[in-house]
Amino acid sequence: MPSSLTITASSIDAGLLSLPWSTPLAEWPNEAIVSLPKGISRHLVRFANLSGKTIAVKETTSTMARREYEMLGQLARLDVPCVERVAVIEGRRTAKGEELPAALVTAHLRFSLPYRALFTQKLKPHTATRLVDALAVLLVRLHNIGFFWGDVSLSNTLFRRDAGAFAAYLVDAETGELHDGGLTPGQRAHDLDIARVNIAGEIMDLEAGGRLEDSMDAVAIADGIVESYHSLWGALKDEESFAADEAWHITERVRRLNDLGFDIGEMSINATPDGARVSIQPKVVDAGHHQRRLLRLTGLDVEENQARRLLNDMDQFSARVSRLGSDEEMVAHEWLTRVFEPVVKAIPFDLRAKLEPAEVFHQLLEHRWYASQARGRSVPIAEALSSYVDDVLRHRRDEATVMGPPTDTTAIDVVGDIDEDDLPEPSARTAALNWRDLV
């Protein structure tokens, strides 16, 4: 190992020293790399195994690697969905003493996929819409904390399943800027325009490769992020005015934001001099309303829509067993031990890398609802679980770490054997499930 090698990390993993840093990343041996699908990148990116975990290694300049390392640290402290930084590797040299680029090391986000790996045949309209909507939510969250991305695209994002939708995570932060005073309307508009142009280009690339349904319009898909973004940003930031005797509007505004998955930390309330009208405007808005509540009650750390679904099930469980007046923490504990955990533990060990437990639970509820509709009766949860495992879960690709051929680091077309779009369309009607077979 060359003596000039420098590793910068918040916590050093000794396994970093065993990786072949004196070899150009493009020439790393097969035994050192892990095959995962990855998005399009201006830099060479490969995946490797580090102490039983998967990491992403990107070659870049020392300045850019350090800058992105620091930016990812700041975003993590602000609770923004992004990949976890691991280390910056500098001072790399070959055995002959030739200089090699610096490397940024990040942790692979389990159960996440680049957008191209979310389908194996053709991208269909509802999948494209869900991806764009997820990216719009991420962009709103970033802008809300004063982060200008500068390179918004599907390729710079990883997606995790979230109860019928997707949750988006920032991958590439090298062009990002964090502004303490927040972003100007012009900066936000510029980021949104970059997103629209990049997404249109990415969808057109799929179209050129025959991976887009004929009825889809790439520009219309890209325009969708503008509409989704403005709708959500307006819900979070717009000022609302009403008569002074209609104070219930304040409570309604809070509830609407909670339904969108946001909490209000601070609100501006102004009354006219004559006291006839009142205006309100949220000042501090934090994402993750349902996530925080579920984590507090059960210790489960899941995506926002998954948390919403699990909390709804918990409420239904409480009503079913006549515990509406019981302590919320007690109900949550009983639901966790009598409903959620038995389902998770019943998943065969060899299938547990297919999906996250919360996503499995969500899909099981969907599967049970469809089965009950088809048979005209309430299907017991055990029966639904058996058919879900055999007919659906067993045929999915593993998403904890999607593997490809041993020598392929961009295995987009070879991962999985079932199209995301061939699965049943998610339904909000799962709330109608009858819980009497569970308890």
Q: Higher model confidence: residue 276 or residue 176?
A: 176
Does 243 have pLDDT greater than 50?
A: yes
pLDDT over 90 percentage in the chain: 50
3-state secondary structure (DSSP) of residue 22? coil
Does 402 have pLDDT greater than 70?
A: no
Question: Rounded mean pLDDT of 285-293?
Answer: 90
pLDDT of residue 427: 38
Question: Rounded mean pLDDT of 217-235?
Answer: 94
pLDDT of residue 40: 61
pLDDT of residue 409: 35
Query: How many angstroms separate the Cα of 66 from the Cα of each of 142, 174, 177, 242, 376?
Result: 21, 9, 14, 50, 60
Question: Rounded mean pLDDT of 122-151?
Answer: 93
pLDDT of residue 324: 59
In tens, the pLDDT along 1-27 reads 445 899 999 887 888 999 999 999 999
pLDDT of residue 323: 64
Indicate the pLDDT class of residue 36, thresholds 50, 70 and 90. Answer: low
Does 285 have pLDDT greater than 90?
A: no
Question: Rounded mean pLDDT of 39-64?
Answer: 86
pLDDT of residue 58: 94
Q: Identify the weakest region by mean pLDDT among 24-38, 72-86, 393-407.
A: 393-407
- Cβ atoms of 15 and 50 within 8 Å: the answer is yes
Query: How many angstroms separate the Cα of 292 from the Cα of each of 81, 134, 232, 306, 362?
Result: 14, 19, 20, 12, 18
Does 407 have pLDDT greater than 80?
A: no
Question: Rounded mean pLDDT of 120-141?
Answer: 89
In tens, the pLDDT along 326-360 reads 788 888 999 999 999 999 999 999 898 888 999 99
Does 424 have pLDDT greater than 80?
A: no
CA 412/CA 41 separation, integer angstroms: 14
- Mean pLDDT, the chain, rounded, equals 85
pLDDT of residue 37: 56
Q: Which domains does the chain have, with CATH numbers?
A: 6-108 (3.30.200), 113-237 (1.10.510.10), 240-287 (no CATH), 290-437 (no CATH)
CA 110/CA 264 separation, integer angstroms: 30
In tens, the pLDDT along 178-197 reads 999 899 999 999 999 999 99
pLDDT over 70 percentage in the chain: 87
**DSSP H or E stretch at residue 331:** helix 328-335
Intra-chain end-to-end CA distance of the chain, in Å: 60
Whose structure tokens read 């999906």?
Answer: 355
Indicate the pLDDT class of residue 177, thresholds 50, 70 and 90. Answer: very high
pLDDT of residue 182: 92
Indicate the pLDDT class of residue 246, thresholds 50, 70 and 90. Answer: confident
Whose structure tokens read 């995570």?
Answer: 169
Find the angle CA(327)-CA(333)-CA(339) to the nearest 5 degrees: 125
pLDDT of residue 414: 29
CA 82/CA 113 separation, integer angstroms: 13
Question: Rounded mean pLDDT of 49-71?
Answer: 93
pLDDT of residue 212: 83
Q: Identify the weakest region by mean pLDDT among 66-70, 249-253, 422-426, 430-434.
A: 430-434
The residue count for the chain? 439
Indicate the pLDDT class of residue 113, thresholds 50, 70 and 90. Answer: confident
Neighbouring residues of 114: CB distance < 8 A, sequence distance ≥ 6: 37, 38, 39, 154, 155, 157, 158, 159, 412
pTM of the predicted protein model: 0.81
pLDDT of residue 3: 55
CA 434/CA 375 separation, integer angstroms: 14
Indicate the pLDDT class of residue 431, thresholds 50, 70 and 90. Answer: very low
Question: Rounded mean pLDDT of 74-102?
Answer: 94
Does 61 have pLDDT greater than 80?
A: yes
Does 400 have pLDDT greater than 50?
A: yes
Question: Rounded mean pLDDT of 229-239?
Answer: 93
CA 341/CA 339 separation, integer angstroms: 6
Neighbouring residues of 143: CB distance < 8 A, sequence distance ≥ 6: 183, 188, 191, 233
pLDDT of residue 284: 82
Indicate the pLDDT class of residue 401, thresholds 50, 70 and 90. Answer: low
